[in-house]
Structure 1
């Protein structure tokens, strides 16, 4: 089950957060051809390569929250690296190196404009839709009588459009094909890879006493080859339950203990924010920032079975920039 986790040895003030966390990067490299700032990642583009910095920004309801979360980016980057390596026999991926705790360098792919969301349980967004009376999500029918967090009869793919800004939108397989967003030939490959990856992720989670509830995968093309891109099985892209208490909690109608960023969404909901028009992001007390950081570290150790070793943050930007410079050919 991995080592016992100790609380991170940092105290938080706004200044301290900014000194130990990556809010954003603004590097310029000699061979750079472009830059893209995502919700969480800063992507530096070169002729054949990209360098991706996993920042400590955190998003929920498709909104980037005001304060970064110390060590979050390192957690995501290192979990993703582990799972990309562990699934490379199923599908080739974009990574060529991980030169820094927060940096991954890889092949410059042309992304498909859909995210392949796959769900094994009725949780999160799918549950909220179901609770409102919907019995079809992304064109996939769901049976009557399900409760929150129930296991689905079989895993279902519920794709979303990939939005550069604003909200990703649910979309059906039929609409993806009808609109020509992805060709039938390519989409069938994406479906096959998605199911195989979810099965592998499920097995790896079970080995650590966890249930992989749902996740998303992104794919792109590099010289006509379909590759797995972005992150895999991280707390930002996935939801996990604890296996040992799952059945008991379901039978008792109790919430499931989760390892995901759903707890961030729940905190926001409790503070009257769901990303809707006119709603204001609540202030994030330092205690909340510290709690979120600790939860991400807990998830890292639980999923990987390894102790989390914090990267040195004394010269954070210099460290990251140097790691990219050494990898770009």
Structure 2
């Protein structure tokens, strides 16, 4: 069994019964179930959702994206062994912890396989909800050049790189390209202020202005639950991105929930606490891979400059990265997942066939 066989690189070609196009993101693919299959599963499995809620199968891959490109390695390696299973395991662990702490639900209804979620359709809030406890990365780069206003929040003078911020900061940005919102550029991932959201709450998909405070509470609560749990395993939760949406439960009540992944090395920065106390930064997140790429290529500006996207895409397409670089990412992801969950991450010998077998035998979803 070669390493390449154990990597689920292509996840949009499974024979899952669907009558809609498969939506494939950078890492996950979404198969919308037919109305008949959705309603059958809701009844059979007793999911707490509206009887006519659309359901989907979400299959994670082991692909690795950074700087808006998908990267590959030598030896035909099209992803990072164990990465998908590690991401799902971490998210599942945090969602369970949120439930135990009385926080909101997530869009996940069932976990048939380590690489698969069954989810309900949610109406997404069009905001990348970013929370920061330390000043680092892009925020530090902007601050060091004299910027003090971040998403309408004025930062004080005298902050130091990689140090804790005076308060937990919420610095939201747009999710996708939103049109016709005064003061908000029509581009993906643009920083926005709370007043932008308040003045145009419906354009961001909020059902009411009051729900802005609900989303902020859920963001802070989620951050603090994960931060405290990571501190227990000697890790620092530096910053993260959450996504939220609305669903309707079985009783017809609309509620705001957590969507997508939470607290993973893909969506967060996580630092080793012991190393930090000794004055060095050890990244237990994708940030380490980003730094590798910046050092690996002679002209890092290609990776940082959005105007050089065609060159960047060519770099990702034409360069097989050293095997040890991708295995280093694999070790980082599986190690942090095992620390967080307390359970080993095991690699499937043939992940695609396993998924097909389970979804066929137990869910009746394979044609």
TM-score normalised by the chain length of structure 2: 0.78
Structure having the higher Rg: 2
Q: Spell out, residue by residue over 1:18-52, the C-alpha distance to the aligned partner (whole angstroms, 9 max, x if none).
A: 42212222234334444211111111112421211
- The match for 2:265 is 235
Instruction: Please give the secondary structure, in 1, of the residue aligned with 2:22.
Output: strand
Distance in 2 between residues matched to 1:125 and 1:38, nearest whole Å: 24
Aligned pair partner of 1:91 in 104, 109, 117: 104
Instruction: Please give the secondary structure, in 2, of the residue aligned with 1:196.
Output: helix
- The match for 1:55 is 61
TM-score normalised by the chain length of structure 1: 0.86
How well do the aligned residues superpose, as a CA RMSD in angstroms? 2.2
User: 1:130 Cα deviation (Å)?
Assistant: 1.6
Equivalent residue runs for 1:1-329 within 5 Å: 16-25=2-11, 26-46=13-33, 47=35, 48-66=54-72, 67-88=78-99, 89-163=102-176, 168-179=189-200, 180-183=203-206, 184-223=209-248, 224-249=254-279, 255-270=280-295, 271=297, 272=300, 273-274=303-304, 276-278=306-308, 279-280=311-312, 281=315, 283=319, 284-310=321-347, 312-314=348-350, 316-325=351-360, 326-327=362-363
Distance in 2 between residues matched to 1:269 and 1:187, nearest whole Å: 37
Contact 1:17–1:68 (CA under 8 A) maintained in structure 2: no
Structure 2: any 5+ residue segments left out of the alignment? 36-53, 73-77, 178-186, 249-253
Structure 1: any 5+ residue segments left out of the alignment? 1-9, 11-15, 250-254
Distance in 2 between residues matched to 1:261 and 1:147, nearest whole Å: 23
Q: How many residues align?
A: 307
Contact 1:21–1:71 (CA under 8 A) maintained in structure 2: yes
Residues 257/45 of structure 1: CA separation in 2 closer, same or farther (3 Å cut): same
